[in-house]
Structure 1
Amino acid sequence: MRDRPSLPTSPRFWRSPLRGPWFTSVLGLVLLVGVTVLFVTGLLSYAAYNPGLSPVNDTTPGKGVLGFYLFPWPTGPVWLYRFTQGLHVTLGVTLVPVLLAKLWSVVPRLFALPPARSLAHALERISLLLLVGGGLFEFTTGVLNVQLEYVFPGSFYPLHFYGAWVFFAAFLAHVALKAPAAVRTVRRRRTGAGAAQEQPVHARDVREEGALRGAAREEGVREEGDLVAPLPDPPTVSRRGALALVGGGSLLLFLTTVGQSLGGPFRRTALLAPHGGPDPAGGPNGFQINKTAAYAGIDPAETGEDAWRLVVTGRTGTVRLDRARLLRMPLHSSSLPIACVEGWSTADQWWRGVRLRDLAALVGYDGDPPDVLVESLQRHGAFRRAALRANQVADGRSLLALFVNGEELSPDHGHPARIIVPAAPGVLNTKWVARLTFGDL
């Protein structure tokens, strides 16, 4: 019986017959595509929050060098944020098994000695540590936020934002160093040795990996560490079987997550999502919410017909509007979804209320309306105040909604009035609105 070395720094410590350049390369190429899509959709999500608009939106960092890409978030198509954020969250959850398998496949390299053979090698090892640490941090914080159980100190938004830049910078460095060799490895396996019928890992696969390493050396490609175990344990599954297992895990996560973005009957399949399952109640107000009136600290006495007033401030002063006055104004309807950063969204709901641009006209903005600061009655939770851009105010589908699906808003959906804006993140569709301030923010 072969004795296993006690330290992971020894190549003989690692006995799995599954590890090898081909297995690692396939996982790496999948992550190359997936992580790039995650990064792009994540940046779009931050742009949708309009972080550079007003200090109240600065929960999402957007200033300085890292805000170079920011642009006014459009209001169309109305499903834009529903699609980009749904893709971001669903793909992130789906890639978790691939990420874990990739980290497992290269873990011997993390313990390889000496830690640095040259300056270039030292820089590569540092980038690898940032890549592994950043990847685990981004996926962990993202999953916790989706599950509404975020427990890390500080705000999720800046931590996830800056962590994404660190992770992606290390990811790009790793891709530049490893992607060419990974592509060659996969091509060589597919066109040459891969044409043979599958045999046990310790026989055919190990011979192929030896041939691959030999060819790599002939091409002057230096492999960092040896992923193929010199003394492998008896195999229990082939490398293709292991990839199928990883793919099956990703498919299972996809099927139990994507329904919260698709909505409708598919929501029942979102077993692992906090907003999966059927809609929370029947009737016109029976669709998903993030926080209830009780959680937000809404006092029913403040939202009653006699007590509630909407305060609108702008160029010509301030007006106070009760519900009866609002109902005498021209009412308009919009069919819009709600989509949140956690990845869940609703189907289109039929909203009815007063256009934001008509409210801006009451306080002196008869032409192009300006930005607006929206303030809520809520006492608990983030985004008690939110700012909307002028293009969002000017869109005729942007409403101070009083009704949904033909009925008054319920308390949990923002009674007596809430904001609804096409293509905006859900938190910018402020509920329990108390004040609108138009003008420079």
Structure 2
Amino acid sequence: MRAALAGRPPPGPSRPEFWRSPLRGPWLTSVLGVVLLVGLTVVTGTGMLSYAAYNPGLGPPNDMTPDKGLLGFYLFPWPTSPYWLYRLTQGMHVTVGLVLIPVLLAKLWSVIPRLFAWPPIRSLGHALERISLILLVGGALFEFVTGVLNIQLEYIFPGSFYPLHFYGAWIFLAALVVHVALRMGKVRAALRGRSLREELRTPTRRTKPESPDEDGLVSPAPAAPTISRRGALGMVGLGSLVMLAVTAGQSIGGALRTTALLAPRGQNPGTGPNGFQINKTAEARGIRESDVGPRWRLTVRGAGREIVLGRDRLLTMPQHTAHLPIACVEGWSTTDQEWSGVRLADLAALAGYDTQPPGVLVESLQRSGSFRSAALRDNQVRDPDSLLALRVNGADLSLDHGYPARVIVPANPGVHNTKWVTTLTFGNPADTT
């Protein structure tokens, strides 16, 4: 208290000499910041595309973010071509995000003295910068932590992950824009002040602290170096490569799938026609054998008509084949599977829409969990590869893969490829024409 009253920092991390690493300084922070900025641009862009892929403009049940207002300005009808679009964008979103974790931690380590700067507020401009810094650090940690938990534990935030992640992303993005605007000049100056090539050639014994800076990153009482900046950057790069190696296989597939140790649903779950990844099992979603037995029926509604079809009747209709993957928000995806069944457009014709079929509301038998129904746009219904699938890879669907019938649509998020379908309602509330 006496130190504070005297205008001096209190004992502890608020005193500059508390931080003794000789590596901290504007140059190292700027290098890490540039790498993080490039990566976060990719993560942010693909994250916005991921939100658009859910077609939130259709409203319930797709829209998980009420009152989004102007934040949804960029939304557009999600296309069905190329068919691997969502697999690419969401795989990049999750993989790049995980790869950036070591960079983020290193960046936070490099600037931690600033979080304890004394006095906490020096001027109005300094106060605004501090607020943006708190929102930036808090927003980054929130987005990364909630994203990792969702990947690892699946639906740990039932019904709320999407709005939490969506609004958190916009808060973080706003803080990032302010921070970049305030700091870009200093970043340029720091990067020009030292040569990256020279720093990568400098061993530990010749590593020297940077010149004192006004932000207090450089320690006034540095300890002897135990690692060079080259070594520090190498450790961060190695950590990112390890994260890449243990996650990328979940979306790339092939031999790398066996190395996806941090992707719980990224590994090969078995063999045979139905031997590919799933998120939700029939048991976990309350599906009973009686629900999918001989009495199962599909109800097709629209244009004042209602048709009830059994599985045998569906199998007598023209069957079509599509080679499509399943790609989920957690970043994992399957290779292309051979699906066969009835085109959604043909079912729309049964409901009275012979030309220009509208969107459809798809309802499932599942009794628990999220995404018991999903709305598809008219362009998704009209795609010739959009099927009510009855078989996969030459065999009947397994119960966990949606038997007796499931939806499969090109470039569609996995949770919107509804399993255990019981009702298709064409037109309102899914009509977007």
CA distance in 1, matches of 2:304, 2:159: 40
Q: Distance in 2 between matches of 1:170 and 1:316?
A: 51
**Which whole-Å CA distance do the structure 2 matches of 1:61 and 1:394 have between them?**
28
Contact in 1 for aligned 2:64/2:159 (Cα 8 Å):
no
Please say which of residues 427-436 and 16-25 is displaced more in the overlay: 16-25
Question: Which residue pairs with 1:198 in the alignment?
Answer: 202
Q: Which residue of 1 aligns with 2:5?
A: none
CA RMSD in angstroms comes to 1.7
- Identify the match of residue 373 of structure 2 among 380, 385, 392: 385
Closer/same/farther in 2, CA of residues 423 and 319 from structure 1, 3 Å limit? same
CA offsets 1:246-269 (integer angstroms, 9 cap, x no match): 110010001100000012322101
Whether 2:238 is the aligned partner of 1:248: answer yes
Correspondence for 1:186: 191
Amino acid aligned to 1:21: P
User: Alignment partner for residue 50 of structure 2, among 32, 45, 55?
Assistant: 45
Residues 141, 150 of structure 1: 8 Å contact kept: no
Contact in 2 for aligned 1:356/1:400 (Cα 8 Å): yes
**Would the alpha carbon gap of residues 426 and 62 (structure 1) be closer, same or farther in structure 2, given more than 3 Å must change?**
farther
Match for residue 143 of structure 2 among 138, 142, 146: 138
1:362-441 matches, cutoff 5 A: 362-441=350-429
**1:32 partnered with 2:22:** no
Query: Distance between the aligned counterparts of 1:246 and 1:301, measured in 2?
Result: 54
> What SS does the aligned partner of 1:55 have?
coil
State the one-letter code of the partner of 2:273. P
User: How many angstroms does 1:181 deviate by?
Assistant: 2.0
Counterpart pick for 2:168 among 163, 166, 170: 163
Give the residue type in structure 2 aligned to 1:92: G
Q: Do residues 282 (structure 1) and 271 (structure 2) align? A: yes
345, 361, 369: which is aligned to 1:357? 345
Task: Check the 8 A contact 1:109/1:224 in 2, yes or no.
Answer: no
Post-superposition offset of 1:200: 3.8
When normalised by structure 2's length, the TM-score is 0.94
CA contact (8 A) 2:207 2:228 kept: no
Post-superposition shift, 1:240? Answer: 1.3
Give the distance between the partners of 2:344 and 2:157, measured in 1 at CA. 37
Give runs of aligned pairs for residues 268-307 of structure 1, distance below 5 A. 268-277=258-267, 279-305=268-294, 307=295
Instruction: State the Cα distance separating 1:119 from its structure 2 match.
Output: 0.8
Task: Give the aligned partner of residue 258 of structure 1.
Answer: 248
What's the counterpart of residue 312 of structure 1?
300
1:367 offset after TM fit, Å? Answer: 0.6
In structure 1, the partner of 2:226 is: 236
- Aligned counterparts of 1:55 and 1:363: Cα–Cα separation in 2: 22
Output the CA distance in 2 between the equivalents of 1:150 and 1:188: 47
2-structure distance, mates of 1:154, 1:41? 21
* Mapped contact 1:370–1:393 kept (Cα < 8 A): yes
CA distance in 2, matches of 1:433, 1:63: 30
For residues 214 and 374 of structure 2, what CA distance do their matches in structure 1 show?
Answer: 50
The runs of 5 or more residues in structure 1 that have no matched partner are 214-222
| Residues 64 and 160 in structure 2, CA contact (< 8 A), matched pair in contact too | yes
The residue type equivalent to 2:397 in the other structure is L
Aligned-partner residue type, residue 175 of structure 2: A
Q: Deviations over 1:277-302 (max 9, x none)?
A: 3x212110000000111111101111
* 66-75 or 154-163, which deviates more: 154-163
Change (3 A) 1:363 1:329: same
CA drift of 1:224 comes to 4.7
- 1:225 — aligned with what? 215
Alpha-carbon spacing, 1:283–1:151, altered in 2? closer, same or farther (3 Å): closer
* Separation in 2, partners of 1:199, 1:147: 39
2:89 counterpart residue number: 84
Query: Matched residues, percent identical?
Result: 66
With over 3 angstroms needed to count, the CA separation of the structure-2 counterparts of 1:150 and 1:232, relative to structure 1, is farther
Distance apart, 1:225 and its partner CA: 2.1
Instruction: Determine helix, strand or coil for the equivalent of 2:58.
Output: coil
The aligned counterpart of 1:148 is: 153
Match in the other structure for 1:218: none
C-alpha deviation, 1:228, in angstroms: 1.1
The match for 1:129 is 134
3-state SS, counterpart of residue 71 of structure 1: coil
Alignment-mate amino acid for residue 184 of structure 1:
A
Q: Is the 8 A contact 2:200 2:229 kept in 1?
A: no
Deviation per CA, 1:13-60: give whole Å up to 9, x if none.
111112111110100000110111111100000000001113111124
Which residue type is aligned with residue 257 of structure 2? R
**Number of aligned residues:** 420
C-alpha contact (below 8 Å) 2:199/2:229 kept by paired residues: no
